[in-house]
Structure 1
């Protein structure tokens, strides 16, 4: 048995605004979108993310993910310089003892996104 990529689905009441944030700010492209299903699939290289409005059977007041989404990139410094003035920063670009250079931001819904690069490679 083999595990494959994990594809998170984030819930939002602001579907189009979230699509716009990920596409216009982070460089994702919208591969699929359904107004009927209130759902979209976004891609950036090997990274995939789905966005959906919560269905009527799911209690939803605001994003309540108790972690972060960690995205590995191959040039974290360039990404930081492109984003840092246009996003809500959680923590600035930093090199950590465990060999990762990373920073974190909030998306338009309040989900935390961390971007990191392994500096030992």
Structure 2
């Protein structure tokens, strides 16, 4: 039986990743041991893991996760209120496939897309 999935994304700088996810997005660090080359963060039921990849070229990073939400409007507004940059092509809108979505890019250009089913 499968119960959850925890994506693993690359990070170039652990402190920059912690700053973005904890201080900007409201995640918390998890794990009993603090490994210098690995990081786990969690918010609500979402857990994302990161591995150190110092040679990563952000222009060549294709790391992506899709995060399902409840009350996407409030999530989006809270990020705007705290000046978290929204992806230039990722403003909140209803997509043709019936999802209301927006996107962010983290410091390593991992794409975080937030989505909620939209019933018209």
TM-score bucket of the superposed structures, by smaller chain: 0.7 to 0.9
> Which sections of structure 1, spanning at least 5 residues, go unmatched?
none
Deviations along 1:48-104, whole A, 9 cap, x unmatched? Answer: 11122139xxxx432444352110110111111122332142410001232211111
TM-score norm. by structure 1 comes to 0.81
Structure with bigger RCO (C-alpha 8 Å, 6+ apart): 2
- The residue that corresponds to 2:67 in the other structure is 71
Find runs of 4+ consecutive structure 1 residues off by over 6 angstroms: none
- The residue that corresponds to 1:34 in the other structure is 34
- The residue that corresponds to 2:16 in the other structure is 17
Look up the SS of the partner of 1:74 in the other structure: coil
Look up the SS of the partner of 1:86 in the other structure: coil
> Which sections of structure 2, spanning at least 5 residues, go unmatched?
none
- Determine whether 1:61 maps to 2:60: no
> How many residues get paired?
115
TM-score norm. by structure 2 comes to 0.81
Larger % of helix: which? 2
Larger % of strand: which? 1
